[in-house]
Structure 1
Amino acid sequence: MRALILLFTATLLAGCAGSKPDDAPETVGQVDLKRYQGTWYEQARLPMFFQRNCVRSEAHYELQQDGRVAVTNRCETGDGEWEQAVGEAVPQAPGRTDRLWVRFDNWFSNLFPGLTKGHYWILYLDEAYSVALVGSPDRDYLWLLSRDQEIDASMRDRLLEQARQRGYDTSELIWRGESS
């Protein structure tokens, strides 16, 4: 019975991840994925189940020759242990590099590959590719990312304003060094 409930819940969540609200937030347009690759440090995020124990997170992206992006997410827990998830990102539509599908390599996604992809929409990206705002079109997920481990108050305020302009509730953000 527990396995059936887990399967139903996962199916329901995957269905939600695939839907797109009519009032979806604005994204940046074309992203040069070659420039975007590399390491990004999470400055803040909206609460999410998969990162519930994380106090520091980082993402590593590597553009592949076929246009896919290899993804490695690392998370330091409150106990000082590091956890890692490996996956890949692909454009949701050909030639549209600001809206990606991300899928992580785990037992569930290997069993149900079509059900486990999540939205990765690049909502804001500065010209230097040094800070980014990434979220989902339903506004349930949001990450404030930077190339540096720390950002100053003015950059933090700029990212918060960009998120609010796109309709995200920033009052529940969990900042780097905090746990859910």
Structure 2
Amino acid sequence: MPFSTSALIRATAMALVITGAAVALPGCAVSVPPGVQPVSNFDASKYMGTWYELARLDHRFEKGLTQVTATYSLNSDGSVTVLNRGYDAAKQKWREAEGKAHFLGQADKAALKVSFFGPFYGGYNVVSLDDQYHTALVIGSSPDYMWILSRSKTIPETQRQALLEKAQTLGIDLAQVIRVEQ
């Protein structure tokens, strides 16, 4: 018995929805990239507060931004509120994005997933952190995402170079890293 046109359209639409869900849902899962080792004995309460972005791999969501900061606040449920802020000189205005992060496992391991856009998460792995929680190297879900953060607007060049060398050992293409004007 032949299908009616409306039945065929409904069946095709349902197949597209199922296929789309099968493709999209695995993209929501976040894991630590191979070869990346997040910091152990991480103290989330010491990490909270404002960090200055000193270097990054540029992406469309930060393109052209300077004076970028990330402010982290620990919530009572163990999640972290993230407020990213940067100045867009081309539009002569500040841009902000608020998100939420969750630890991938125990809170003493600096492996998190963060979302600024609904159910879509990206990785946030602190892979280098000094004892005073003054500088940090963060790698995302892949070596396509990297940030050098500091509690101050500048750090000694030797310290910056050491963080870049660590990033390079994790697969970061240093030719693509930009300094962020503070």
TM above 0.5, one fold? yes
Amino acid at match of 2:161: D
- Where does structure 2 lack aligned partners over 5 or more consecutive residues? 1-19
Q: State the AA in 2 paired with 1:98.
A: A
SS in 2 for 1:58: strand
Larger deviation: 121-130 or 134-143? 134-143
Displacement after TM superposition at 1:56 (Å): 2.4
Is contact 2:54–2:150 with CA below 8 Å preserved after alignment? Answer: yes
Which residue pairs with 1:138 in the alignment? 142
In structure 1, the residue matched to 2:94 is 82
Contact 2:44 2:107 in 1 (8 A): no
Residue 52 of structure 1 aligns with which residue? Answer: 63
Alignment of 1:1-180 (within 5 A): 15=27, 18=30, 21=33, 23-79=34-90, 80-104=92-116, 106=117, 109=118, 113=119, 116-177=120-181
**Shift of residue 98 of structure 1?**
0.7
How many residues of Structure 1 are paired with residues of Structure 2 in the alignment? 161
Cα 1:142–1:14 shift into 2, 3 Å: farther
TM-score by length of 1: 0.79
User: Which sections of structure 1, spanning at least 5 residues, go unmatched?
Assistant: 1-7
Structure possessing the higher radius of gyration over alpha carbons = 2
Provide the rounded CA distance (Å) in 1 between the counterparts of 2:66 and 2:86: 7
Percent sequence identity is 36
Give the partner amino acid of 1:145.
L
Question: Displacement of 1:94 after TM fit?
Answer: 3.5
CA contact (8 A) 2:28 2:121 kept: no
